[in-house]
Amino acid sequence: MNALPRATDLFVIGGGPAGLAAAIAARRRGLDVTLADCSVPPIDKACGEGIMPDGLAAARSLGLDLSDTGGHSFDGIRFVHGETSVEARFPNGQGLGLRRTGLHSLMVDHAIQAGVKLSWGVRISGISPEGVIAGDRLVRARWIAGADGGHSPVRRWAGLDACHHESHRFGFRRHYRVAPWSEFMEVHWGESCQLYITPVSSGEVCVVLITSDQHQRLDDALPQFPQVQRRLAHGAATNLQRGGVTASRRLKSVCRGNVALVGDASGSVDAITGEGLCLLFQQSVALASALEKGDLAGYQAEHRRIGRHPEFMADMMLLLDQRRRLRSRTLRALAREPGLFAKLLAMHTVRFSAANLITSGLSLGWRMLTL
């Protein structure tokens, strides 16, 4: 805990993973950085707690090695729809299931080691061209980073709320004391909802419901997934259900003047992609580079480039969520040709070329027509 300084190069508002990543990246570029949040660590959030291989690589670019954190690795993704299932391994390493609080504590420690000034339990009441209004005084800042989540006040204060697109779904998370039964992260498809099963230790799994129905909860949805329900019956829930909103939001701009947005404050993709952490790590590196150069225009362009692929994948997966017959035919086609699912997973985790997209799309379309 640090007292707020009189002035700083960069003031980061928000102490979740996005704010910590932005602060760490800026310190690595030599900036003096202050971070403040009204909460006190560890800060939790309802999320799937699975980090894809590209997310782990993005974390390493910040000096964060998550391999020895006590989490649980997984080798790939399995889709399950009724009696149909298809799976594939990642082509670029393993993913990692890690409790959100564990990740946050690790990042706080890393930020301290990097020399970030951390101020917890501090309420930010506004911003100005000169800096940040923290409590009852002004902290002068050359740059301000808004990392204060999907309902970002910084975004509103900076006049950056304008969107190209916005939609919402709802997520609910609970942990169960059950040994992981699969070497994969599993996505179980139901009626307008999905269950995500992520191993987070040798004796615990994270279960997340993502739904379009704001009134639906895990206990309501589990009967749709009898395989999962039977497995969870062998273990007790280890915590209360935690909920949140998962948004698809594309902002027209993520910076104005000396203010830049990062993480969910800067727009987001639906949690169905599993790309949230990877995005914020990559955005933080891009923001630090722009700040070092003294020009946020480059961050605007790079932020758009970073988000293009996850936005495309989210649109495709949400289409399956909304169209039951299309979802059923697609997953049956993939089950009949698992090599095609492996190609699609590689496109998701390693990024795709236009040629690969067209070829895989044609192959999938042909397989669906021949069912």
pLDDT digits (tens), the chain, 371 positions: 678 999 999 999 999 999 999 999 999 999 999 999 999 999 998 888 999 999 999 999 999 998 777 899 999 999 999 999 999 999 989 999 999 999 999 999 999 999 999 999 999 999 999 999 998 899 999 999 999 999 999 999 999 999 988 889 999 999 999 999 999 999 999 988 999 999 999 999 999 999 999 999 999 999 999 999 999 998 999 999 999 998 889 999 999 999 999 999 999 988 888 888 999 999 999 999 999 999 999 999 999 999 998 888 888 888 888 888 899 989 998 898 888 888 888 876 655 554 454 444 434 443 443 45
Q: What is the pTM of this model?
A: 0.91
134 — phi, psi (to 5°)?
A: -110, 115
Percent helix, strand, coil in the chain (nearest 5)?
A: 40, 30, 30
Q: Do 351 and 309 contact (CB within 8 A), yes or no?
A: yes
Q: Tell me which CATH code domain 7-44+99-162+252-316 carries.
A: 3.50.50.60
Write the DSSP symbol of residue 177.
-
Q: With respect to CATH, is domain 167-245 assigned 3.30.9.10?
A: yes
DSSP state of 235: S
